Structure 1
């Protein structure tokens, strides 16, 4: 069965950041420099803000639901991300997934380009949601794929190496 189109947008193809980083660069390419953002906080002080942690068991508990929902709302509104705990996914599966991701990004470029994004799509290896040649980019490569709903999955993005989890 052929996957249905995603309709999530399109993305222009950009060079691999890993490959750019291997070159001897005197400066970071301007496309990756964001002057409109505050510089990262580099400190040895341990009192830096901590990433919000959301406990899924508390979200389903009558006693803690409201408090945890407020934390979730605040994390989404103020941080844009959060850590989820007590999600039911085994730690060994999480570790295998992290190992698989690390192995994929350590493959030679020739192997990774088999999964390069296609023109006009956002799924695959590269960067998603690049809409112009002037757009500022993240100094990172990514692998974006839709996993749910299942009918939208594209089997070609499930690489044979590294071995499946």
Structure 2
């Protein structure tokens, strides 16, 4: 599926069925049977992982199994750097669709600009466009997918 969310939203009156999750499926993939759902994304203290903290390792495992994601704190990345990444990302995603399509991912690859890879006709898709780039190791970077605009992206 090469239709980006921005295009679908501007050309459609109704949300395509492929993006609609059934009510009973809503939290099926992020909770285990018998566990209550918490609306708070798990927070993992990376500095504690470095000390082999058993409780933090258990929290990490639970976050991965039940949520598939977590918020990392005490990771050592400067807030100013993260702010810059957010700013440049917003600039990229606010570009016109034609500009973003210059970074369009290939059909059977995750790298580049696009949306969900379609693995089956029954797959429910996320209402999102993404830019996936390999940063390290450097020799695996596919620079043809790296945006030229915004100019400070690279």
TM (normalized to structure 2)? Answer: 0.82
Ranked by relative contact order (alpha carbons within 8 Å, sequence separation 6 or more), the top structure is 1
> Over aligned residues, Cα RMSD in angstroms?
2.0
The structural deviation recorded for 1:148 is: 2.7
* Partner of residue 41, structure 2: 51
The structural deviation recorded for 1:160 is: 2.1
Q: What SS does the aligned partner of 2:25 have? A: coil
Question: Residues of 1 paired with 2:46 and 2:57: CA distance?
Answer: 10
Contiguous gaps of at least 5 residues in structure 1: 1-12, 40-47
1:101-150 per-residue CA deviation (whole Å, 9 max, x = no partner) reads 11111001110010111233221111243224553211111111222332
* Partner of residue 30, structure 1: 17
The structural deviation recorded for 1:89 is: 0.6
* Partner of residue 15, structure 1: 3
* Partner of residue 82, structure 2: 94
In the comparison of the two structures, how many residue pairs are matched?
A: 142
1:106 pairs with 58, 81, 94, which one?
94
Question: Residues of 2 paired with 1:122 and 1:38: CA distance?
Answer: 25
Q: Is the 8 A contact 2:108 2:117 kept in 1?
A: no
1:143 equivalent in alignment to 2:131: yes
The structural deviation recorded for 1:74 is: 1.2
Q: What SS does the aligned partner of 1:148 have? A: coil
List structure 1 runs of 4+ shifted beyond 6 angstroms. Answer: none
Question: Residues of 2 paired with 1:60 and 1:118: CA distance?
Answer: 37
Question: Residues of 2 paired with 1:140 and 1:150: CA distance?
Answer: 27
Q: What SS does the aligned partner of 1:54 have? A: strand
Question: Residues of 2 paired with 1:146 and 1:111: CA distance?
Answer: 20
Contiguous gaps of at least 5 residues in structure 2: 28-37
Q: Map residues 57-76 of structure 1 onto 2, 5 A cutoff.
A: 57-61=47-51, 65-76=53-64
Question: Residues of 1 paired with 2:135 and 2:116: CA distance?
Answer: 16
CA distance change for structure 1 residues 24 and 118 in 2, over 3 Å: closer, same or farther? Answer: closer
Q: Is the 8 A contact 1:128 1:144 kept in 2?
A: no
